[in-house]
């Protein structure tokens, strides 16, 4: 018994106090559950990214190129010259702290380096050291003086810290809403990730979808026949539920409109039900008004993970949608419920691959509405298109088929903050279902909280990080669930549909996730349909059970 | 029941100190935010923790119901189980209550009867620790389940797309009786 430790000894190695050192002196601790796996070298090679190699984030040695500091420094310089915004953002922050507590990762993790100001400071400290006169002068006096002006040298520890924390930002831009100077911390993350890519540091959940998208046209690498097969399954489902056979067309030259949606809608539940909703809507419009739209198995991805890699990669992947529109000779494009696809279209496309002068200014063939906001990109968001149809009373709807749902709406970061699409999705939801409840005001619209897994962070291995980042959103969902009995969280983004499903399963398991057009599909009365007894998920509709069963 | 009366009187101070000790497990910059921001949607960690601790303390003063305890403890543990804590760090806050209570009782109040009551109250705190252990494990298991399911779904989908899996059809195959051996046919 003499070996039995005393209580004091037992607990002496349990340290619940965090380190009290300043952020610059607290070394990075790369933790399991937080970091994502390194990019597959084959994927990097496929899209011509440099220094493709096997490396492991938790290894001491990252097999970096010998001159990595030189490469980063040169890349930093180039980007400061190329992007005026980055130069300004590096200089003007006064560290007021307005952004500090606005980030979902900081709120959920409690890790101070996730305060947007501090995440940006990781790069700024190196900027001050290498690119400012003050940094150079003070640095020449002695290393210890650098801290006074918040400067430090780039070394391996700093680089690891960059990688770890730049992949703990979803580029959601909530922090920028609160910055009095309008600093867009997402742009700082974007640039930081570009720099990391110069020396082959990426994560696999981004770079493999990029390579797949470049090769096959979508993130999962689904080939055209498999894409069509999946849609055929959906057609069978629709026939079973409604008695109506829906036959979408693919790659059809001369169609008036091209439809592009994230591949998640075709291959990942619950996005697949949203896809079924689109198919039903297009069929309805075709039957009633002769609507002429085609899907493409080549432009089979709305999402653009190039956006999380580099400006060049984003441009390259965005171009394929327009190339397909040109090849098919369509007049304009409708885009599905996607997040960052819309940020790329709205904020980058026009100066990157645009103007799309071979297309026509979008006009709804059914209502005659001119979508003037899409005058240059020629691409209209489906929520906007459907809202316009409802406004003009062009859809026959049975809203009672959504009565089993108590719905709230999550504004996707990219469509709300990135393009100001706030009212249209709400208008559609309120017209297709009868029970709608908003989440608290500081968690929606421009102030919406990220799903916690955007910008390529929806991997499996970083589940703890995703749950931390998802907490503020889920906390608001929990509130409306407890107050109003909300059981359905709707959104207009494929990443949201995947990410929020896991998030609510952990935080509020009583709530499910849906796309807006799934609810449209539930309510839409197709010409010639039989009495529906189930919703699009083939779950029985309360009060509409089969007569035979009685 | 003198201890309970005493604790009831000092409730506000005790909960406040328990909360302060709990959020001191976060880095100091974070702790400041968790303490000062009162909006539950801007600060879910701080507010959930505070409300949970207050409710737990109330419940400890009553006849403790395990289900109720679980419902108050779960939201706090659920958060700490995904944050950058070791298991002991994640659940340590429960035992902080012992010190907070001891610090709040004056030496002269430590008569024999009160001391016995304190011991039994501290046993309740120990029970809380065990419930926290269960909850913590449930949360961790949920995380692994989410990870495993995402991987499984991805793999299964890949097989499905490649046409390597077929669901069992609803209608049974129309087969004649096939007897593998004579004995089997006799059994039938």
Report which of A415, A547, A536, A413 is spatially closest to residue A103, judged by C-alpha positions.
A413
CB distance A16–B25 less than 8 Å?
yes
Contact of A14 with chain B, judged by CB distance below 8 Å, is answered with yes
The 10s digit of each residue's pLDDT in A217-263 is 899 888 899 899 989 999 999 999 999 999 999 999 999 999 999 99
| Percent with pLDDT over 70 in chain B | 80
The 10s digit of each residue's pLDDT in A51-107 is 999 999 999 999 999 999 999 999 999 999 999 999 999 999 998 999 999 999 999
Q: What three-state secondary structure class fits A473?
A: helix
State phi, psi for A127 to the nearest 5 degrees.
Answer: -60, -50
ipTM surpassing 0.90, yes or no? yes
Give how far B174 is from chain A: nearest CA, Å.
Answer: 24
pLDDT beyond 80 at B112: no
Give the C-alpha separation, A480 to A473, whole Å: 11
* Amino acid B176: pLDDT: 65
Is residue B107 assigned to a domain?
Answer: yes
Contact of A178 with chain B, judged by CB distance below 8 Å, is answered with no
Give the C-alpha separation, A187 to B82, whole Å: 28
Residue A2's alpha-carbon distances to A5, A12, A14, in angstroms, are 8, 18, 22
Q: Are A459 and A481 in contact (CB under 8 A)?
A: no
Give how far A79 is from chain B: nearest CA, Å.
Answer: 32
Give the C-alpha separation, A155 to A69, whole Å: 8
Is residue B163 assigned to a domain?
Answer: no
CB distance A476–B142 less than 8 Å?
no
Give domain limits for chain A: 23-202, 209-543
Beta strands in chain B (DSSP E): none
CB distance A502–B92 less than 8 Å?
no
The 10s digit of each residue's pLDDT in B57-97 is 999 998 778 999 999 999 999 999 999 999 999 999 999 99
Between B37, B84, B146, which is nearest A111 by CB?
B84
Q: Are B120 and A440 in contact (CB under 8 A)?
A: no
From chain A, pick out residues whose CB is under 8 angstroms from the CB of B84: 31, 34, 109-111
* Amino acid A546: pLDDT: 64
Is residue B92 assigned to a domain?
Answer: yes
From chain B, pick out residues whose CB is under 8 angstroms from the CB of A100: 33
From chain B, pick out residues whose CB is under 8 angstroms from the CB of A268: 157
CB distance A505–B24 less than 8 Å?
no
Contact of A112 with chain B, judged by CB distance below 8 Å, is answered with yes
State phi, psi for B161 to the nearest 5 degrees.
Answer: -60, -40
Contact of A177 with chain B, judged by CB distance below 8 Å, is answered with no
In this structure, how many other beta carbons lie within 10 angstroms of the beta carbon of residue A450?
Answer: 30
From chain A, pick out residues whose CB is under 8 angstroms from the CB of B92: 14, 16
From chain B, pick out residues whose CB is under 8 angstroms from the CB of A467: 82, 143
CB distance B84–A109 less than 8 Å?
yes
CB distance A502–B150 less than 8 Å?
yes
CB distance B28–A18 less than 8 Å?
yes
User: Which of the residues in chain A have pLDDT under 70?
Assistant: 1-20, 546-550
The 10s digit of each residue's pLDDT in A253-279 is 999 999 999 999 998 889 999 999 999
Give how far A23 is from chain B: nearest CA, Å.
Answer: 10
* Amino acid A87: pLDDT: 95
Task: Estimate to the nearest angstrom the gap between the alpha carbon of A254 and the chain centroid.
Answer: 32
* Amino acid A1: pLDDT: 43
Give the C-alpha separation, A59 to A62, whole Å: 7
- Please state the domain count of chain B: 1
Q: Which residue of A has its CA nearest to B151?
A: A460
Give how far B172 is from chain A: nearest CA, Å.
Answer: 20
How many Cβ pairs within 8 Å bridge chains A and B?
A: 106
* Amino acid B115: pLDDT: 86
Residue range of the domain that includes B99: 2-137
Contact of B143 with chain A, judged by CB distance below 8 Å, is answered with yes
């Amino acid at each position: 018994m003499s070996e039995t430790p005393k209580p004091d000894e037992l607990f002496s190695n349990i340290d619940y106090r965090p380190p009290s050192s300043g952020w610059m002196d607290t070394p990075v601790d790369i933790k399991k559950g937080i970091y994502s796996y390194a990019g597959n070298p084959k994927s990097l090679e496929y899209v011509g990214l440099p220094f493709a190699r096997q490396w492991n984030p938790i290894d001491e040695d990252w097999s970096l190129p010998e001159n990595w500091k030189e490469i980063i420094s040169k890349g930093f310089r180039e980007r400061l010259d190329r992007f005026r915004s980055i130069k300004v953002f590096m200089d003007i922050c006064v560290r007021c702290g307005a952004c500090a507590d606005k980030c979902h990762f900081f709120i959920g993790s409690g890790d101070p380096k996730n305060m947007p100001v501090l995440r940006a400071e990781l790069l700024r400290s190196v900027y001050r050291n290498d690119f400012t006169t003050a940094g150079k002068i003070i640095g020449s006096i002695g290393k210890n003086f650098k801290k006074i002006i918040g400067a430090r040298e780039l070394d391996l520890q700093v680089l690891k810290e960059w990688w770890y924390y730049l992949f703990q930002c979803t580029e959601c831009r909530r922090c920028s809403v609160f910055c009095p100077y309008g600093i867009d911390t997402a742009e700082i993350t974007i640039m930081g990730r570009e720099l990391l890519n110069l020396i082959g540091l990426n994560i696999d959940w981004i770079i493999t979808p990029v390579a797949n998208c470049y090769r096959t046209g979508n993130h999962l690498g689904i080939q055209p026949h498999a894409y069509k097969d999946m849609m055929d399954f959906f057609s069978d489902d629709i026939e079973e539920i409604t008695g109506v056979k829906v036959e979408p067309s693919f790659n059809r030259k001369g169609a008036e409109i091209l439809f592009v949606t994230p591949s998640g809608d075709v291959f990942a539940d619950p996005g697949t039900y949203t896809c079924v909703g689109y198919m039903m809507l297009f069929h309805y419009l075709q039957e009633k008004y002769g609507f002429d739209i085609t899907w493409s198995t080549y432009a089979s991805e709305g999402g653009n993970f190039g956006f999380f890699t580099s400006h060049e990669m984003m441009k390259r992947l965005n171009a394929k949608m327009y190339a397909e529109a040109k090849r098919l000779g369509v007049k304009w494009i409708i885009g599905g419920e996607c997040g960052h696809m819309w940020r790329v279209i709205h904020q980058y496309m026009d100066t990157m691959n645009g103007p799309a002068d071979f297309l026509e200014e979008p006009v709804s063939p059914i209502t005659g509405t001119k979508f003037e906001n899409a005058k240059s990109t020629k691409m209209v968001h489906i929520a906007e298109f459907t809202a316009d149809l409802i406004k003009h009373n062009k859809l026959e709807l049975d809203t009672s088929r959504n009565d089993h749902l108590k719905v709230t709406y999550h504004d996707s970061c990219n469509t709300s903050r990135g393009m100001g699409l706030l009212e249209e999705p709400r208008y559609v939801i309120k017209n297709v279902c009868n029970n709608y409840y908003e989440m608290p005001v500081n968690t929606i619209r421009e102030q919406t909280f990220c799903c916690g897994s955007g910008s390529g962070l929806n991997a499996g291995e970083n589940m703890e990080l995703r749950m931390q980042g998802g907490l503020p959103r889920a906390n608001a969902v929990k509130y409306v669930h407890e107050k109003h009995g909300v059981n359905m969280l709707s959104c207009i983004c494929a990443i949201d549909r995947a990410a929020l499903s896991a998030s609510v399963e952990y935080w509020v398991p009583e709530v499910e996730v849906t796309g807006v057009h799934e609810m449209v599909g539930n309510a839409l009365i197709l010409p010639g349909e039989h009495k529906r007894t189930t919703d699009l998920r083939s779950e029985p509709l309360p009060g509409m059970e089969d007569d035979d069963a009685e | 029941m003198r201890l309970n009366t005493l604790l009831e009187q000092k409730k506000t101070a005790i909960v406040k100190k328990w909360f302060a000790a709990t959020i001191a497990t976060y880095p100091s910059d974070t702790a400041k935010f968790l303490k000062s921001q009162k909006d539950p949607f801007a600060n879910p960690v701080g507010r959930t923790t505070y409300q949970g601790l207050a409710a737990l303390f109330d419940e400890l003063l009553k006849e403790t119901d395990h289900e109720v305890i679980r419902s108050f403890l779960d939201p706090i543990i659920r958060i700490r189980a995904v944050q950058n804590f070791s298991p002991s760090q994640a659940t340590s806050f429960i035992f902080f209550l012992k010190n907070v209570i001891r610090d709040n009782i004056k030496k002269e109040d430590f008569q024999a009867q009160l001391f016995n009551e304190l011991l039994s109250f501290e046993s309740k705190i120990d029970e809380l620790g065990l419930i926290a252990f269960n909850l913590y494990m449930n949360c961790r298991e949920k995380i692994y389940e989410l990870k495993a399911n995402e991987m499984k779904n991805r793999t299964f989908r890949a097989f499905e797309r490649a046409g390597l899996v077929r669901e069992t059809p609803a209608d049974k195959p129309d087969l004649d009786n096939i007897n593998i051996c004579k004995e089997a046919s006799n059994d039938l």
